[in-house]
Chain A
Amino acid sequence: MKKALSFIITAVMILSLSVCAFAEEKVTLNVYNWGEYIDQEVIELFEAEYPDITVNYTTYDSNESMYSKMISGAASYDVVIPSDYMVSKLINEDLIYELDFDNIPNYRYIGEAYKNQAHDPENKYSVPYLWGTVVVMYNSAYVDEADVENQSLDLLWNEKYAGKILMFDNPRDAFCLALLKLGYSMNSETHSEWDEAAVLLSEQKPLVQAYVMDAIFDKMESEEAWIAPYYAGDAYYIADGNPNIKYYIPSEGTNMFMDSMCILNTSEHKTEAELFINFMCDPEISRMNAEAVGYSTPNTETLKMLDEELIGNDILYPSTEFLIENTDVFKNLSQSTQILQSNLWTSLKIEESAESSALDWIDIFCIGIVAIGITSAVYFGIRSKKRKKLWKS
């Protein structure tokens, strides 16, 4: 028996070793992207086209968590798709390669308006993937038409909808909205403006149901929450699932973001990574992605093939003049402002919520448990008494 067991174990070990050795002949490309931000079929198509490359696809839910995972060295990534301000941070800290555009011929499809952005002025490091804006979503079945008439950010601070408002669980986006509402720049470096924004956010906290990121999908679609700011592409996707949900670009202005593909300079497979980026810029592939996730594409060829429903949506594809007038792009904040933002956000989150309805039902819960305890004690008591009687008789 023992011999058989040890034989099996040895066999399994040898087998797994040989599998490892075999796998090494194939190149594994580690792609790190935002959650829900690709048509999964695209990866299969890429692997079918390049049989020597296996894609290991993982996701993150904020630029900051991508950055910390990256610099911790816990995992190595080849292709990452961060937003504008994070791209410039990566460039400043010398963490990404200059791309070899000879390997990315499909770059020619990217619209001129999307090239040479402020975060990568000579467009040496990044290739635009998708872009979008931050919008305010609301459920028209519960939110009065009068409250959304002026298309303002005030809706997020409307006490009438206390407990039904969701908010970004991400300081950069949350502070951006507060700064915009106050009429300041979202890239403000004036610390007193940040303090004012923090006060505004802490006024909002009692009205907020939850601070969430990807959980917004479920909570809005199931009508658990009625009002939430989020990214336009996701809003389109959510509204598709629940026709009561409408969204608008706030009149105070909004953030326009562009997520771009970059190659980390720890990558050992730069050429393969460039193949991947090139593949993602292919008009047909790009169409699949844009239609699957609902974000706006910078690919001019894709625009021609895109579903009428998407291209005709003037929130997803607003006019260039509108964008210039009403949107701003995140810039990488200075170190001191970043620390201020982090401190303000943490104190916002740890401060005691003024209205804590928690105790009401935690009490009920505890009483329930104690009741169960007492009942079971009585039950056991009776049972042991009965036994005693039996024993005596």
Chain B
Amino acid sequence: MNKLSSRTRQALTAPFSVWMAIFVLVPIGLVVYYALTDATGGFTLSNLASIWEYRSTYLVSIELALVATVICLIMAYPLAYSISRMKAHSQSTMVLLVMLPMWMNFLIRTYAWMTILEDTGLINTFIKSVLSLVGYEFEGFSMINTNGAIVLGMVYNFLPYMILPIYTVLTKIDHSIIEAARDLGANGFHIFTKVLLPQSIPGIISGITMVFVPAVSTFVISKLLGGGMTYLIGDVIENYFLGNTGEVNYNVGAALSLVLMILILISSGIMNHFDKDVEPDGGAKK
């Protein structure tokens, strides 16, 4: 293929640049503008200062999102690996199965978890009826309206975003490299740590980002599965914009979002640092 002249390249990227400008740059600009102004439009830092009140909320949100991300990673990696080692035909079936839940609306799926986890829900009713057969009275687990339920909701909803990028990098690994490692006497553990893991880091990193970012900013999951008992930072932001608490305040809401964005930027910066440790050919640096 001929190299594109710079003008053609510009012309081709123009639609995307315009899109990005309108739907990414302008909104971010607005967030920054609102965060740094008061209701009358004058410059102020008081919105940012008022964020100190919400430090515990940030911490809880980050904590729950981290737990969810780690669980996703632990569950997704073996699954992605086993999918990548299947025959081409079964691979596409498995990928389809991973994507299948995403065909249904996110809200409906989360509502479904409510009926599963409730005290009178599917799990508890089942366990109770089984135990009552052997004559044992069981009170049931209290699962809904806890932080655990929120984490579960995050894991369930965002797991595919972890599986798919890891699967993609794993399929690209030449199987002969693994065979070569085996020939050279590496055992399963060494193959994993020295060959597979270093080569799959880019996938892991994009998986972590794609799970952590929506998890840390969610507000629907905490409302439905957490029963409004735990406020995540997404809930606070939502309230400031929608005025559910009786006060609409775009400025504080924007300041909260800005801080969240900065936190996410910092963490992806740290993660990209790990990514750079991997050389382009996939081998780890000495």
Contact = CB atoms under 8 A, between A and B. Distances in A.
Note whether A and B form a binding pair.
yes
Interface of A: 62, 64-65, 67-69, 71-72, 163, 169-172, 205, 208-212, 215, 218-219, 222-224, 333, 338-339, 341-342, 345-347, 349-350, 352-353, 356-359, 361-362, 365-366, 369-370, 372-373, 376-377, 380-381, 384-385, 388, 391
B67 interface: yes
A349 B246 contact: no
The SS class assigned to the B binding surface is: helix
A172 B246 contact: yes
Interface string B93-122: 000000000000000000000110011110
Contacts of A68: 241-244, 248
B229 interface: yes
A68 B152 CA distance: 31
Contacts of A171: 244-246
Nearest to A164: B119
Interface in B242-274: 242-248
Interface of B: 53-54, 56-57, 67, 71, 74-75, 78, 81-82, 114-115, 118-121, 141-148, 151-152, 182, 187-189, 191, 223-224, 227-231, 235-236, 239, 241-248
Contact of B146 (A350, A357, A373): A357
30 contacts: A64-B243, A68-B242, A71-B248, A169-B223, A170-B244, A171-B246, A172-B246, A209-B227, A211-B229, A212-B228, A215-B224, A223-B120, A224-B120, A338-B246, A338-B247, A341-B245, A342-B246, A342-B247, A345-B246, A349-B235, A352-B56, A356-B146, A361-B148, A362-B67, A362-B148, A365-B148, A369-B74, A373-B75, A377-B78, A385-B188
B182 A391 contact: yes
A359 B81 CA distance: 31
Contacts of B78: 373, 376-377, 380
B228 A169 contact: yes
A148 B151 CA distance: 37
Contacts of A72: 241
Contacts of A339: 247
Across the A-B interface, the 3 shortest Cβ-Cβ residue pairs: A210-B227, A211-B228, A342-B247
Contacts of B56: 350, 352
A222 B124 CA distance: 13
Interface majority SS on A: helix, strand, loop or mixed?
A: helix
A211 B227 contact: yes
A350 to B, nearest CB: 5
A209 B145 contact: yes
Contacts of B246: 64, 171-172, 333, 338, 341-342, 345
B59 to A, nearest CB: 11
Contact of B231 (A71, A215, A338, A350): A350
Nearest to A71: B248
B191 A210 contact: no
A342 B57 CA distance: 16
A168 to B, nearest CB: 10
Contacts of A223: 120
A385 B74 CA distance: 22
Contacts of B236: 346, 350
B144 to A, nearest CB: 8
A357 B228 contact: no
A347 B191 CA distance: 51
Contacts of B71: 365-366, 369
A369 B236 CA distance: 30
Contacts of A333: 246
B229 A65 contact: no
Contact of B228 (A172, A349, A377): A349
Given A224-B119, A370-B74, A384-B191, A65 B244 contact: yes
A376 B151 CA distance: 22
Contacts of A341: 245-247
Contacts of A358: 146-148, 230
A211 to B, nearest CB: 3
A222 B114 CA distance: 12
B147 A210 contact: no
Contacts of B188: 380-381, 384-385
Given A222-B120, A369-B75, A163 B244 contact: no
Contact of A353 (B187, B223, B229, B242): B229
B242 A65 contact: yes
A67 B229 contact: no
Pick from B71, B75, B81, B243 the residue with the most CB of A within 10 Å: B243
B109 to A, nearest CB: 16
A210 B151 CA distance: 17
A333 B120 CA distance: 40
A69 B242 contact: yes
